Structure 1
Amino acid sequence: MLKAMGQVFFSTGLQNPKFTAEQKKAEDYEVRTYHATKWVSTTLSGTQWDAAMNTGFRRLFNYIQGNNQNKAKVEMTAPVTCRVDPGAGPACESKFTVSFYLPEEHHASPPEPSDPEVFVEERKELTAYVRTYGGFSNENMKREELQKLIESLKRDGVQYVEKPYYAAGYDSPFKLTNRRNEVWVLKNAEGQ
């Protein structure tokens, strides 16, 4: 049974995408179904997760600061997500899609990006297994937390999609304590 959370704000005070959480959750992860939403995104290729996040964040921050066709300022939201489509092997390039959630007031008519590498993305509803962790996240922490989430899903015999997967960050780099980060693994549609 799903229970509508209907939340728009987390402790950061920033607007967040709405989701429905399953009432029954595991001790070390939760199951969320994110509603269909609009995001502003940019895609990069490379082998370094953190480098892709930094470049992608700068592009998207420029967009919300007015680098768009309307010269409109767009409120910062949370989380910043990074979808990872891993390459074929350990030394192969992966595709990273860094995204900011568009505030609801811009869903009907999002400002058109000026940067050709930035685009508005309409995300369909998705269900994810979510593991939350604190601290200043980095590439190693993301990989470790992702591995812990996958081990928990295997332990519970849960069907999941191996790729793509997501990392999500909720806090400004200036926030020093009580930081919130997440890794998301998508639920296998056949396992629903």
Structure 2
Amino acid sequence: MLRAVGRALFSSGYQNPKFSPVETKAQDYEVRTYHAAKWISTSVSGANWDEAMSTGFRRLFKYIQGHNQSETSVEMTAPVTCRVEPGAGPACDSTFTVSFYIPEELQAEPPAPCDADVFVENRKEFTAYIRTYSGFSKEQMKIEQLQKLTESLQRDAVPFRASPYYAAGYDSPFKLTNRRNEVWMLRESQEE
């Protein structure tokens, strides 16, 4: 019980996906190559990033609480990622794919989802440019951080994909200080 409360308040001890830092590192972003791994994911269409995150998080939280075909409780991991595939125009819905990393001990055989909107995603190895920031990350803050990352990558003449892009959060909503958030943009030369 105390362990669960400690994790909720301080977000310590969560398993993270494995990655290799890339040698090249700029002053305001880093480069990571994430290893191939399985994530539990759900996609939500809409125009509001925060609403999509909330809907997706609730679906995935039910899954890790045991609402899966083997009724297995799955440990919470970090980060919670949200891949955004923007709509074709300003008034078009975007697709938000919210994901939890599947813990190492379940990577070989994750519990099958019961919810038709939840699926196991096999992410191939990928390299991302990552900007880290703190605070409670709402939609406007994510957009501002993505803009800053884009400006940095353009400044450094780094080839990157404009979309899809990611937001990643590492902390429980109950953690009040020293929060860790990231935005990710993929290196241009890879397929997703």
Work out the number of aligned pairs and report it: 180
Of 150-159 and 20-29, deviating more is 20-29
Amino acid at match of 1:94: S
Normalised by the length of structure 2, the TM-score is 0.92
Q: Classify the secondary structure of the residue corresponding to 2:69.
A: coil
Matches within 5 A, 1:48-87: 48-87=48-87
Q: Quick one: distance in 2 between partners of 1:23 and 1:158?
A: 14
Which residue does the alignment assign to 1:90? 90
1:12 touches 1:170 (CA, 8 Å); kept in 2? no
Unpaired stretches in structure 1, ≥5 consecutive residues: 1-10
Which residue does the alignment assign to 1:30? 30
Q: Quick one: distance in 2 between partners of 1:169 and 1:128?
A: 15
Q: Classify the secondary structure of the residue corresponding to 1:113.
A: coil
Unpaired stretches in structure 2, ≥5 consecutive residues: 1-10
1:28 touches 1:131 (CA, 8 Å); kept in 2? yes
Q: Quick one: distance in 2 between partners of 1:98 and 1:12?
A: 21
Matches within 5 A, 1:11-160: 12-160=12-160
Q: Classify the secondary structure of the residue corresponding to 2:72.
A: coil
Which residue does the alignment assign to 1:164? 164
Q: Quick one: distance in 2 between partners of 1:57 and 1:86?
A: 19
Amino acid at match of 2:44: L
Q: Quick one: distance in 2 between partners of 1:157 and 1:36?
A: 27
Q: Quick one: distance in 1 between partners of 2:49 and 2:39?
A: 20
Amino acid at match of 2:168: A
Q: After superposition, what is the alpha-carbon deviation per residue over 1:119-173, rounded to whole angstroms, capped at 9, x for unaligned?
A: 0010000100000000000000000000000000000001000110000000000
Q: Quick one: distance in 1 between partners of 2:89 and 2:14?
A: 37
Q: Classify the secondary structure of the residue corresponding to 1:27.
A: coil
Q: Name segments (4+ residues, structure 1) moved above 4 Å.
A: none
Q: Classify the secondary structure of the residue corresponding to 1:189.
A: coil
Q: Quick one: distance in 2 between partners of 1:182 and 1:89?
A: 25
Indicate the percent of aligned positions where both proteins have the same amino acid: 70
Q: After superposition, what is the alpha-carbon deviation per residue over 1:82-107, rounded to whole angstroms, capped at 9, x for unaligned?
A: 00000011111000000000001111
Q: Quick one: distance in 1 between partners of 2:104 and 2:96?
A: 24
Q: Classify the secondary structure of the residue corresponding to 1:78.
A: coil
Amino acid at match of 2:22: E
